[in-house]
Structure 1
């Protein structure tokens, strides 16, 4: 785009047919009329040019082990990696657009306020056609969705105290500790009690079984009747905000699958320990949504908004070693 063209800028949007632009990172100039397209800057040569981060939503390079905000992609897979992001944005352009906007807005806010912005956007997308399309398609699979009330263990979050140390265990291994509404409420209640405890005990959160948490309970997606009220409830009892408020008191031990809210909440902890088999993924955008448990705020503060947007668009797994390099976890411990 040359000069100013406010009417023409409309075409670079979810409604204008071009929700994503791939540009050379070293010479891209964002046009004066604000455009809504997700901007992916690429460094095909691996030179890591000096760029203004604010111009881009994702930055890809062929340089190995690149520093933030870049995402390193092997040169043999570079074109495929770009196409994956383009396809993702084109399949769910509204979710991609709103995801990029939320990350940009949230980067200048305190974490609780950034989570409120995320929640407003999440409720908006729950009422959108992209999510409805995903929900309709997945409801056809009777094995994934059921109207029957789920059977939960008596203690979805098991608490154990040893003097000034508390261990909270997500205790639903049969579902791989999926973050059902009941589990979220139990976790928030436990965290709130610790925040109210004048002795200020340390707390460690872990998951029972083979993984920390595979994220939200699929049968619960799309069940909220009042999306405005859902936003109020989501931000009133928010586990990520509570965990962040604990500061240095809080540690999480992450093993196996840490998916969606299973890493969004955990990323708010001051100390994050992973086992070598831990892996992380944000699949929400493929559902026509964005992370809704605080991830656009917690994860972006750990790894930056550009890498967070890449995780959202690509829905790729991040293994423990990459999570350590990026800062999503602080240490990897075999016997954690």
Structure 2
């Protein structure tokens, strides 16, 4: 059960927003009779429990859905209060920004958390990773289609620096050559992508420098420019940076065995490969926060119901 002190009437929370010091707040929408004029939010996530059609619901950061647990969301916010607050504040801003502006805002928020004690603690406690061969990104042009293939199956297609640079170059190529009518991203092996290579976290310790690098090399910055030609085929695990990039595509298909997850909050950070932007654009800021705050895996069927993917590859259209 959620701590009773964290569940407050909306009008009371609005009055106390500037002084609210808890890492999260819950509003029981079953008990709220009507909308609250001049409703304002504290800096932390504000989570609704109950009716999604309540007049207040759309103004909250997220609504607890049937397969998610309020207590787990509370614990996540308590465990990483700075990351939870930062991502909630960022997601409130994103609907008013263009995709390109959103990527800048996301990178700045990510940089703030990169320098946090919570993230440094996670980096220091991280187990030593097995050294695996560098990944590569394969390109093949077939008539007007450009096929991009993640090729690091022995590492679950975890995206290391060479793959990041290869993806950036591949999307830049698509943007430079408008005769390419379709850009299709696939992956070799049993997993589409396990996300960013965890062994590379913490290698750039200056947050300002890390932000500058992202502005030059982040694949999403090129992917958004050809999003109307971009398609993705997913099979298996699709985690972190892999999901963040895929969600920019105009069409995403996945096998029924695929599953999706954003685990970054537990590391003291937020999705920084474009995911706050792409998932807000695809499924809305409330469900984006639900995935980020919970760290929960969802299956292909739920992803289809939400619109995170557009079709199942192994079912008839």
User: TM-score, structure 2 length as denominator?
Assistant: 0.89
Paired residues for 1:83-98 under 5 Å: 83-98=71-86
Work out whether 1:72 is the aligned partner of 2:54: no
CA–CA distance in structure 2, aligned partners of residues 312 and 219 of structure 1: 21
Deviation at 1:19, TM superposition (A): 1.1
Within the candidate set 183, 188, 192, 1:208 is matched to 188
Q: Say which is worse superposed, 101-110 or 239-248, in terms of deviation.
A: 239-248
Give the 3-state SS of the residue equivalent to 1:90 in structure 2.
helix
SS in structure 2 of the partner of residue 219 of structure 1: helix
Q: Is the 8 A contact 1:23 1:42 kept in 2?
A: yes
TM-score (norm 1): 0.84
| Map of 2:204 onto structure 1 | 224
Question: Residues 1-336 of structure 1: matches in 2 within 5 Å?
Answer: 9-12=17-20, 16=21, 18-26=22-30, 27=32, 29=36, 34-43=41-50, 48-60=52-64, 71-73=65-67, 81-138=69-126, 141-142=127-128, 144=129, 150-153=132-135, 156-334=136-314
User: CA shift at 1:165, angstroms?
Assistant: 1.3
Gaps of 5+ in 2: 1-8
Distance in structure 2 (CA, Å) of the matches to 1:93 and 1:322 = 28
Task: Report the CA distance between 1:177 and its aligned residue.
Answer: 0.6
1:205, CA displacement in angstroms? 0.6
Inter-partner Cα distance in structure 2 for 1:112 and 1:214:
25
Query: How many angstroms apart in 1 are the aligned matches of 2:39 and 2:228?
Result: 43
1:253 counterpart SS class = strand
Indicate the larger mover: 301-310 or 218-227. 218-227
Distance 1:103 1:21, change over 3 A: same
Who is 1:64 aligned against?
A: none
SS at match of 2:238: strand
Distance between the aligned counterparts of 1:188 and 1:278, measured in 2? 25
Deviation at residue 245 of structure 1 after TM alignment? 1.4
Closer, same or farther: CA 11–170 of 1 in aligned 2, 3 Å:
same
1:55 Cα shift?
2.6
Q: Counterpart of 1:246 in 2: which secondary structure?
A: helix
Query: What is the CA-CA distance between 1:48 and the residue it aligns to?
Result: 4.3
How many residues align? The count is 304
CA RMSD of aligned residues (A): 2.3
Moved more, 310-319 or 240-249: 240-249
**Which residue in the other structure is 1:65 paired with?**
none
Structure 1's consecutive aligned runs of 4 or more residues displaced over 3 angstroms after TM superposition are 1-6, 8-11, 28-34
Distance (whole Å) between structure 2 residues aligned to residue 30 and residue 308 of structure 1: 26
